[in-house]
Structure 1
């Protein structure tokens, strides 16, 4: 069995290849060719956290796997990531364990990659200004991924801590060929062409009066007691998801950003316009005008982890990276 640690996984991830690989995975999911049941979780209420299991099978890439992922929002105030994970891959022909991978790095990369895929499908071609709400792992992943699918020339970082926002802006400035600045959420969203929400917010950080026409929004944050996007934005936007079933599932699988306005009668479940796979197949249309607001709400699905793990494991074998162990 191949064993890969976090630093090895990070070194093996090819973001361009990962963004491309997300497309057939999303198409398989929407067409019913892939299996990705709703995640289940053991709750840790005293820490406001949980440990979830996410199994998945993608026949087109020959990947059978499961991810164990913990979400502890209080880690945001510590050096530890809020999401930490392990992925186990199995031989789909025999069920034999084949690989054990750090899943924390894969979760960060695949989430940003699928948001970038949504931008490729829905953002305006001339999108050059990116607003990133948040200063953690996903903020970094989204800033890097979005620059690969649109000609981003300006990145605006907004977070609860101005010091963390400034530090992230300096970090990204040193590696990306673009202007990166820290500012308030209202300033960051004013005139932005793409807005990436990557927070554990209790109250919405994306609000309709702060948005300009034509913006594409990606929302990947999760807080059991909160949400990232307000009702007015949800109501006005063309809303897309990975999977309707996953997005509308009860806690801990679904999205408060969609479930809350449904419960409040602001929208119905039919307001979800499309799954990404339906946009890819052409069975549902995407953006229809330059001024249309589009929104991709992600809850994370196992097929994303499956294709990311497959790419990493293949690269590890080709480069003779990692440790092989024999199971007794």
Structure 2
């Protein structure tokens, strides 16, 4: 029995967007039903290298399939300038829950991109208006592409507005999608007045306020992934219907972390977790007006769900590199 090695191109090819969205939705449902295990993310702090390591293990039983794995990921902000490497690198070990055999080792960076977009798509499907055709994105980095790819799977997006301080990044984004959508550069407010908005910036001072969104905009708040990060103003959050992915993670390092710890926002201001919407325990959007916000911190169950998709598709296609990691003849 062999282990499958899958590089970033393999993951990108086999993490088919619609499949990953479905698997991530299944994972949110399993987590809410208690059919998943997700220990707290653990950290190894490396101040001498201005970085850290994080381990993210999980198991989930989605009914028709179950899966387990762990993602080993880092954040090293000096990597691009000092080492010509990405700030974030990830490796995913995907295992058979029954035997613990390592079925695959795969690039976790591309996997993270795909599952993050998929989570936003799941939230958009439950929280955006049904006839949403316009999409705005604040921040034209790598995740902006995955957001549009995934969200356009659940809503018939026609027009796209991208806002960023870097004109070159905007130009690359527009060029990438010019043949698929009516896409243009715009201000934060222009992006925010679309039916769906994704914010994918690392800011600590909010850049999107109540006047920057439409009366029925759904916002996917993606950028906040550490204490102190904060893209949406407190006034906007207090006016909106807020759905989070996980209470502990979001109040520690998600979009709501700053106002929550300052006492500006409390549990009473949070509508529920996305898993509650998936299983029907809490209501999704029911009207045509009102701002909704999804606070996405990224969960290990999403990584395992996406890894399941990649592994099954790669095996079916005969892709990747098979190698004998473990001597099973012993």
Aligned-pair CA distance for 1:171: 1.4
Deviations 1:35-75 (A, max 9, x none): 11221112234665322100000123221100011123456
In 2, Cα distance between equivalents of 1:37 and 1:114: 19
Does structure 2 conserve the Cα–Cα contact (< 8 Å) formed by 1:73 and 1:223?
A: no
Partner of 2:275: 277
Aligned-pair CA distance for 1:185: 1.6
Equivalent residues in 2 for 1:1-328 (5 A)? 1-45=3-47, 48-60=50-62, 61-73=65-77, 80-174=85-179, 176=180, 178-189=181-192, 191-221=193-223, 222-248=225-251, 250=252, 254-255=253-254, 257-326=255-324, 327-328=326-327
Does structure 2 conserve the Cα–Cα contact (< 8 Å) formed by 1:202 and 1:223?
A: no
Query: Which secondary structure state, in structure 2, belongs to the residue aligned with residue 64 of structure 1?
Result: strand
In 2, Cα distance between equivalents of 1:76 and 1:16: 31
Deviations 1:228-281 (A, max 9, x none): 111111111111112223323x4xxx32x2121122221112322111111111
Gaps of 5+ in 1: none
- Number of residue pairs the alignment of both structures matches: 320
Aligned-pair CA distance for 1:223: 4.6
User: Structure 1 residues 75, 131: CA separation in 2 closer, same or farther (over 3 Å shift)?
Assistant: farther
Does structure 2 conserve the Cα–Cα contact (< 8 Å) formed by 1:244 and 1:272?
A: no
Does structure 2 conserve the Cα–Cα contact (< 8 Å) formed by 1:201 and 1:223?
A: no
Deviations 1:271-315 (A, max 9, x none): 221111111111111223222110000111011111110111011
In 1, Cα distance between equivalents of 2:172 and 2:311: 33
Aligned-pair CA distance for 1:77: 7.2
Does structure 1 conserve the Cα–Cα contact (< 8 Å) formed by 2:230 and 2:256?
A: no
Does structure 2 conserve the Cα–Cα contact (< 8 Å) formed by 1:165 and 1:182?
A: yes
In 2, Cα distance between equivalents of 1:33 and 1:228: 32
